[in-house]
Structure 1
Amino acid sequence: MSMSAERRVSFFVPAAIDDPARVSGGNVYDQHVRDGLRRSGWEVHMVPIPPDDGMLTGLTLSRLPDGALALVDGLIAARESVALGLQATRLRLIVLAHMVTADSRERDAFRAAKRIIATSGWTRSEIITRHSHAAHDVIVAYPGTDPAATTNASPAGDRLLCIGVVAPHKGQDLLIGALAHLTDVDGWTCTFVGSLDGAPGFVDELTRARHRARLTARAPFRGALVGTRLDSAYARTDLVVVPSRYESFGMVVAEAQARGIPVLASRIGGIPEALSNESAGILVAPEDPRALEVALRHWLASPAQRSQLKAAAVAASRRARPWSATVAAIASTLIEVAFRETAVSP
């Protein structure tokens, strides 16, 4: 295999990867992988796959030359596991697993891959355990963060922010339930940022819950924000709250930490890994609105706690992981698969 072929990869991604209304951790990760590989000299052929067009995956895979490298986003891989299986012996398939389920199609997709790239150690362990996958074939490429200025804390610490697509697995209903019991505390606001299109029924339920609790003004939903608008939201934040029911890593946690913002989050999945310095955040039991309420009440009432957490978060921001490290790990895996397969070819 020539050097040019070794640095050529087809990247199968959701069609909404660059849609500002469909911002997700997976899409942001894929964007950075695409852009980082290109900056480091890779020829990256993007293959956007609509959610209702599975035939495109199989058709495109079948048209790739023998031995071609194909990096496939895990959401597509699980949905199109049959197509991957048909090409497994002909192509060098690598699956980028943002999450893990017990779905049999996901298991089949993983088995078709030469390597699986997981976004956290927790995800890697789950893949190995749930799908009995060989440990040496699953590597970790942690999400990075963009360079960002550290934020200034307000005296009252009462500017709360919750970021994530508004959907059940992100647990915004748990946070609304906690906030409904904090209406006796003056001054705080909690801004919700994230796409409102993913689970319309859930959004409707939250709208009604906010209205019943008289939180509409204090807990506004801003929709998806990107670029400078998202930076501005972070800049006006004292505490980022992540009440998720499921997180394979928790990119919002890492992004908050990179800006020197303390975090209140569920102790679940990869979140403890994302919070590289636990003294920069508060971890509570998942699925527990009462635990969120108690933690928030203490945060708002304790200047000493806020000061300690802020100092730890600022210190952690100096050790933030760059996206270049993520891309380097993925590039290393792509090259390793190319060289390994070349070495055993007749």
Structure 2
Amino acid sequence: MCIGAYWLHDISWTLSGYAIRRATEANLSANYHRLLSKGGEEDLDSMRIWYVLYICDHHLSILYGRPSIVREDITISGWEKLMKVPGFAESDKRLVSQMALLTMMSNVRELFGPDTGEPVPQAFAPQLTNYSRQIDQWMGYWTTELLKLHQHIGEFPTKGVILHHHLAKLHLHSHVFRGLKGTPVPPHFQGSASAAVSAATSTVEMLLADYDIRESLVGIPHYLISMIAFACVFLLKVASQHSGQYIDDTVVYDLTTKAVQQFRATSVGKWHLVHMMAEGLEKLVASRTTKPTANHDQRILPATSQAGPAFEHSPHMTSMAASNGFYEGDPLNNGFEEDFGLGTSSFLSIQPGELDFNFPGFAL
């Protein structure tokens, strides 16, 4: 169930919830105290599973905008003590590094709460600065802790820290676009707005420039693929709503075009999420973004590579998606409160083989 929750995006929420329920019935978290007192491998394995479930649960809370199920009790907040128990391995370091980051991000979600369509209060500005500093400190610590090279995943742990840092910054600072309804970002949040755009840009640039990140698209959990795609959508919508203010529109188009080509170039099956993301991004660019050249109608072309089978459209799936509201409205002509509110996102539960970001509700 854990494996399915991490990689099967269309049923991840259901699998995760069921797995957490079973883990709770088995009282897995109780192994935390037994592990600290006598330290057994079986107890450590139980805590590994519990932490894997915590991470997945909080990933899905970010993607779907729903409350997390696993709360931050002592078994979660006390992860540092486990680093001293016998048998704690390098892979466990990677696990608890995610625990530390997601605990911060859980605090961010608690601060901002669900999207009510109202702008973020000015009083939140100091908290934004504080959380941003904590995320920077997290990256500084774990890039050092995870420097060891690994036989199968090479330098990915350290690069993964950097990628998660960008995504956490995007998640944090993009909240300032809530409830603006097309109006300018207030002066007290200008720094956060710029930081969100910088994080999104760095995310896409890292995907395009780093070989290990590009190669990892085949096997990384759907949370990372979804967040990388969200970075592209974020930039496109900022360019539409705040053209030229935070980033040049030509840069946005170029980055998104190259991201689509990279997604399409990934050698996986046609139902893999990267191809779905490519299709959705391509539609959004083609319908809502004007290419800053003489040829305004040029369509993004797939990269010529050993990609998976060509993406095929299904009229039946398209009609089902349309009936569910995935193609309704004109989100880029509305304020961010409808198409970019940090509320529940339904793009992960669409019909297999059909993905379109051009509908109200795409959000964190």
Higher strand fraction (1 or 2): 1
Higher helix fraction (1 or 2): 2
**Which of the five TM-score ranges fits, normalised by the shorter chain?**
under 0.3
Normalization by structure 1: what TM-score? Answer: 0.28
